[in-house]
Structure 1
């Protein structure tokens, strides 16, 4: 499920370029023109200027505001007496309130989405004396009526349903796929202590992977729970010599595309396996990396200092490297944040195959799109207050100005060419951008 983090703006305002001085003119024609301009200015000042239409959306101090589909949802903070938190729902784009309901589970809510006709709410349940545990609550989006509640962190499954996992890295746990309508369990499996990861597609999760420190890896079909592969990667049955990571950094398991990757050991090594059969494809030593990510047609391996190595997913061959880049990929291309001496970041568009810079976007805070395939919106503070808004084009490598929002401050979410941002005086505003 899509999770939207309402972060604060990180970048300072950029200085505006001074406007060029107009050429000087002399003589009576200039004075006549000035008189005409003065008359026109007097007429314009007598007519009220049109105001930008903005929908005001309430959000009290300390509340958590999230957007799911065409619903604006506000989780009100608990009262000073510890009373129940409340969820208010408003219809977008008009901002009419639909309903409000109390939330039975005390805790912090971090994700909301519409799935199979139900409103799914994810959060951390806080119980006195116990560590917080994840919880999923299902409500009717039209009325707010309670449907069901179960422990676990929810993920949409390809073909329908929700995956709820309550795994623990030390004690093990349970994987369950339930029907979104009613919480009925489709399948479940108990897992030993270890790591849990998955492959996500546009329609949801389709592969689940559980791995243990000893090297056993189990791959399941998410829709049915059927085991597709089960292998001991450190002691393979075919007798091949495989170095187990008994020393050095802990080994992590990641899934990217059709590959399962193990990353760790000393020296740092990545080994690639076919996901559905766990057949070994290649092995490559790296200069050091903390995690892998998909960068379009290549694999990116990033360390915590920003050093980047791009690998050919078919052969494991190193293609290019970069220093000081934090990269992420979208359907349109590959974007990187580049640090500079002032501590601010600037965005550039990269060629994923060569690492060459295709375009300079400038300094922008990226607003994640709430729907797949939506425009990539960038915001930054405007001198004197408000926000500058642009669409970031990863094909042309250009930032196309969209709008200026003088009453917006931070914490923005995009819904296509609509932008919901916190207002300085409190609450949120919803603006229609000018594409």
Structure 2
């Protein structure tokens, strides 16, 4: 793939650096906010100041489908594109842009689960659709494993892929109501069975996505029966009946930090219950509203819903602080990058994770991305064609921003994979090494 240079990135599109933003005042919770998953609106920029010389430029680019979204994974960028009749999956080398492999498979783009630990991709060979309680559920009846580096199919077996680690893959059999009735642990390299176990029909089979926590499996039935299994051999470690039936919500139960977090919904009230995974002992409860998910935020446990981030004491479940944000990114030094999307343009801020106190708001009309959990990049959109994203280093302690360069694309489409930034716009993928 040819390298595309942007030319003189000190063109008048660049804007004068604003004065450092003042520290953010604590925002009240009177108005609802929308869900935010790091998607920010493009904002017009003005000014005529000349920036510092750029330190980097675009590494490579590729033409992709207008509605395609690049997924960086294990040294490749996977792009699914094409028409319903001619679906194509293309894997680009993340560093060079060279095409590693292509697959024309109408099923593959619609459902692909990457596992970075095994460097494999898992996709259903067949997809089944069932109607349950007025809703539609999709699941795979067979699973195939592909090598991420070559796109070669390594093996296929019956069962829906539920979880994967570096060495094993957990598959589940489903009944006509999409409940899981049997579990199979197979070897990731060749699909060889390690153990098989029938189970009572379970609505949720919960395994952590964090490799450090992938040692246990928790089963949750609609009748409120919880069971913990050991991942390596399927042995039962604990069972218990909860005080009211388990309800499956948009955000399901989770395993995190050696604890099982169950979500229960009773009208407008949502209760998050923390259990010790091995014993299923009730540790604490936290009451809120809406669908929630939990997140490790360093010294605190973050509970996120569509409009609030609440910090809890991990040991007791005591609420420490609450801010209007549906998204939190842990940083180093006990800080968080949070986003408040109550306004037309989402506002981001760096806060102290222990107290919720704001360190500084991000400059207006910008988007902040974190590299390695500590270095922060500020992205802005230009207003004249060809539209570009300016990139600056931003220091939340001083508010100082240092312009680095620019790439083609839109800031609301940019994402980081290690030290590489991927941006899209007008059917074009741009990849830049940010150092």
TM-score over 0.5 for the pair: yes
Within 5 Å, give how 1:280-359 maps onto structure 2. Answer: 280-284=282-286, 286-294=287-295, 295-304=297-306, 306-322=307-323, 324-330=324-330, 332=332, 333-340=335-342, 342-359=343-360
Q: Is the 8 A contact 2:424 2:430 kept in 1?
A: yes
Question: Is 1:66 the equivalent of 2:71?
Answer: yes
Cα distance in structure 2, aligned partners of 1:200 and 1:302: 17
Q: Does 1:56 align with 2:61?
A: yes
Following the alignment from structure 2 to structure 1, what is the Cα–Cα distance between the partners of residues 313 and 60? 48
Residues 1:137 and 2:144 are matched in the alignment: yes
RMSD: 4.1
- Does the Cα contact within 8 Å between 1:376 and 1:392 map onto a contact in 2? yes
Cα pair 2:311 2:320 within 8 Å, conserved: yes
Tell me if structure 2 keeps the 8 A contact 1:366–1:377: yes
Counterpart of 1:232 (choices 241, 245, 258) is 241
**In the aligned structure 2, how far is the partner of 1:144 from the partner of 1:246?**
39
Higher relative contact order (CA 8 A, sep 6+): 2
1:197 equivalenced with 2:206 (yes/no): yes
| Offset of residue 389 of structure 1 | 2.7
| Corresponding residue for residue 422 of structure 2 | 420
Query: In the alignment, does 2:12 pair up with 1:12?
Result: no
> 1:160 offset after TM fit, Å?
2.1
Q: Give 1:355 deviation, angstroms.
A: 1.6
Residue deviations 1:118-152 (CA, integer Å, cap 9, x gap)? 53144695579997433643234454332223442
Q: Secondary structure at the match of 2:222?
A: coil
2:193 match = 185
Instruction: List gaps (5 residues or longer) in structure 2.
Output: 1-36, 132-136
Displacement after TM superposition at 1:404 (Å): 3.4
Which residue number in structure 1 is paired with residue 29 of structure 2?
none
- Whether the 8 Å CA contact 1:163–1:176 is kept in 2: the answer is yes
Report the more deviating stretch, 308-317 or 207-216.
308-317
Distance 1:77 1:293, change over 3 A: same
Alignment of 1:30-429 (within 5 A): 52=57, 54-61=59-66, 63=68, 65-78=70-83, 82-83=85-86, 85-103=87-105, 105=107, 108-116=110-118, 118-122=119-123, 125=126, 132-134=138-140, 136-150=143-157, 151-153=159-161, 155-157=163-165, 160-165=167-172, 170-173=177-180, 174-191=182-199, 192-202=201-211, 205-234=214-243, 244=244, 253-264=253-264, 268-284=270-286, 286-294=287-295, 295-304=297-306, 306-322=307-323, 324-330=324-330, 332=332, 333-340=335-342, 342-362=343-363, 363-365=365-367, 379-384=379-384, 385-390=387-392, 396=397, 401=402, 403-409=404-410, 411-424=413-426, 426-429=427-430
Query: CA separation of 1:189/1:381 partners in 2, compared to 1, >3 Å: closer, same or farther?
Result: farther
Whole-angstrom CA distance in 2 between matches of 1:197 and 1:183:
21
Match of 1:25 in 2: none
Hey, what's the Cα distance between the residues in 1 that align with 2:232 and 2:252?
Answer: 25
Query: What are the Cα deviations for residues 248-274 of structure 1, in whole angstroms up to 9, with x where unaligned?
Result: x99964333233233436565443321
Aligned-residue offset at 1:207: 2.2
Asked whether the equivalents of residues 120 and 136 of structure 1 are also in contact (C-alpha less than 8 Å), the reply is no
CA drift at 1:9: 5.1
Structure-2 change in CA distance of 1:115 and 1:208 (3 Å):
same
Structure with bigger gyration radius: 1
Distance 1:216 1:402, change over 3 A: farther
How much has 1:280 moved relative to structure 2?
A: 2.4
Distance 1:204 1:416 in 2: 23
Q: What is the Cα deviation at residue 427 of structure 1?
A: 3.0
d(CA) in 1 for partners of 2:103, 2:433: 29
Q: Residue 386 of structure 1: CA displacement?
A: 0.9
Which consecutive unaligned segments of at least 5 residues does structure 1 have? Answer: 1-6, 21-48, 235-243
Deviation, 1:61, is 4.3
CA contact (8 A) 1:195 1:212 kept: yes
Secondary structure at the aligned position of 2:214 is classed as strand
2: distance between equivalents of 1:429 and 1:74? 13
The answer to whether the 8 Å contact 2:89/2:109 transfers is no
**How far apart, CA to CA, are the structure 1 residues paired with 2:374 and 2:197?**
36
Evaluate the alpha carbon distance shift between residue 203 and residue 10 of structure 1 in structure 2; reply closer, same or farther with a 3 A threshold: same
